Structure 1
């Protein structure tokens, strides 16, 4: 048994647990401060870099179980390293990190799409309340309390910031940056105009809702028109992988030189590189359609 590698893995697990515990304590302290209606400016140590802010939004959308999912590649990598050596352990950890990153990106994108589809209905409900005498801020607060996930928690986070002393449009701007939903900036701009100039801001919010409805309809139509192109891209990406698994499963002796011979290693590395390059090119092509 590789004792140093095992001790290193245990030390990293303990460090990850300590960091997770500190993050939970910091979140609990922030929640208590928001409940008291207090707002204290963050200390310089609490200021997070932009990439961490962008990552924290999808993690918050996916729920608390994803905050500790990063420990799984480390644990599996340590186990593989103990059984097979440093190289299998590193390969296992890197593969698990890539798999979790892809799965997290897919789930986060799905949640952002659901929140974007909920936003026009939320704005239309705001317009109906504003037309009977409510202010936009009051309508926002009332409808946000009744909005289901995933959009509801984002809006209620903005409300918590407003209770703590922040401007609602600023909190929505931060939410748009954190969750990657540009449509929230339109809502923030409408609330900013209503707060500064008054008039009939519900008309502006109604036009924003109509714009978002039109964008969603156009997006749905575009997805329907490009479904064949995207299906062809998926088939072309998965076909070589499927053939490789079929080859290794049906005739392992025929494919054994790719794993045992140095020349086979080079050929296999070249095939994997070409497959990744082709997948990236097909992805860019489908995005440009």
Structure 2
């Protein structure tokens, strides 16, 4: 069993290393190409409308995706993560990941009655965690670059360009995720979508709360008039102040968040260490017939503790 785990670890390490090298090569080559993914696709296609539809299809936004009754929230989270759907790659990583999870669970849990539910739960949670982390990272990057995008739009408006031209300039000059998302916004305005609907679609695709301020500002200005440059300047300053406040709160709560992460991982690390050093240490628990009840109770208590810790270190502001 140890030899199988070693082979599995070597295989996963080689797979991850190959993926990292490939990503490094792609990123290096992209430095000499377009600024963002949308411009890269437009360089190789003369049909902009088809490129626009293909980008929506890659993100899973084709069709009435928001009207699906059961999968609405999950699919929206997937769209906001910015991940590109690739069936072959998804299948490969899914099979390899399931095999690795099964080997780890088989090594740590000796009873099938407990092993199978833990395996299924892990196979369900790992993709959700990956999508959630990718979504959080993309939203954080978007929020950080949004004030800079508004500054670019301000300079275009101050030079006398209309709002659609300013949005197109942001799409051309800014990197992802700002560039691609504003590019899709520009395409929707070009193809006849109203400004309010296009901004609503942008908000659904990204999920950043700051976009609500942008949508409200542009909608009010379009209805009542006013100095759009001054409005966007004030909005850019407000967003920068919000970002600084978030960073300050995050730094203040860093110790609590690290403590919460460590306390969540510690029981599993301790169990794995004891299981490795003394494989028969937990055999009386499993042989007693109460192993399933004990494990279930421990997971419930840990879940309650994690929720409490999460509420303590995450603040509303």
TM-score interval, normalised by the smaller of the two chains: 0.7 to 0.9
Distance 1:45 1:158 in 2: 17
Quote the residue 1:19 is aligned against.
none
Give the 3 Å change call, closer, same or farther, for CA 72–52 of structure 1 in structure 2: same
Give the 3 Å change call, closer, same or farther, for CA 172–68 of structure 1 in structure 2: farther
Quote the residue 1:162 is aligned against.
189
- The partner residue of 1:176 within 203, 219, 241 is 203
Q: What pairs up with 1:212-227 in 2 under 5 angstroms?
A: 212-227=239-254
- The partner residue of 1:123 within 150, 153, 165 is 150
Alignment of 1:198 with 2:229, yes or no, is no
Quote the residue 1:55 is aligned against.
77
Give the 3 Å change call, closer, same or farther, for CA 46–151 of structure 1 in structure 2: closer
Deviation at 1:224, TM superposition (A): 1.1
Normalising by structure 1, we get a TM-score of: 0.74
Deviation at 1:143, TM superposition (A): 1.6
Q: What pairs up with 1:98-109 in 2 under 5 angstroms?
A: 98-109=125-136
Give the 3 Å change call, closer, same or farther, for CA 226–89 of structure 1 in structure 2: closer
Quote the residue 2:11 is aligned against.
none
CA contact (8 A) 2:185 2:199 kept: yes
Quote the residue 1:97 is aligned against.
124
Match of 2:290, SS state, is helix
Match of 2:281, SS state, is helix
Q: Over residues 220-250 of structure 1, what are the superposed CA-to-partner deviations in whole Å (9 max), with x where a residue is unaligned?
A: 1111111111122122222222111111111
CA contact (8 A) 2:66 2:76 kept: no
Normalising by structure 2, we get a TM-score of: 0.68
Aligned Cα root-mean-square deviation (Å): 3.4
Distance 1:121 1:244 in 2: 48
Q: Over residues 58-103 of structure 1, what are the superposed CA-to-partner deviations in whole Å (9 max), with x where a residue is unaligned?
A: 25x12234897488658948x97xx999986665343112111112
Deviation at 1:183, TM superposition (A): 1.4
- The partner residue of 2:303 within 257, 269, 276 is 276
Quote the residue 1:3 is aligned against.
none
Deviation at 1:33, TM superposition (A): 8.8
Distance 1:218 1:96 in 2: 37
Give the 3 Å change call, closer, same or farther, for CA 86–158 of structure 1 in structure 2: farther
Match of 2:192, SS state, is coil
Distance 1:141 1:120 in 2: 16
Quote the residue 2:216 is aligned against.
189
CA contact (8 A) 1:233 1:282 kept: yes
Q: What pairs up with 1:225-240 in 2 under 5 angstroms?
A: 225-240=252-267
Alignment of 1:32 with 2:53, yes or no, is no
Deviation at 1:118, TM superposition (A): 0.6
Give the 3 Å change call, closer, same or farther, for CA 66–144 of structure 1 in structure 2: farther
Q: For this pair of structures, how many residues does the alignment match?
A: 251
Distance 1:53 1:267 in 2: 35
User: Which one has a larger percent helix, Structure 1 or Structure 2?
Assistant: 1
Distance 1:283 1:95 in 2: 21
Deviation at 1:53, TM superposition (A): 5.2
CA contact (8 A) 1:190 1:204 kept: yes
Unaligned 5+ segments in structure 2 are 1-47, 54-61
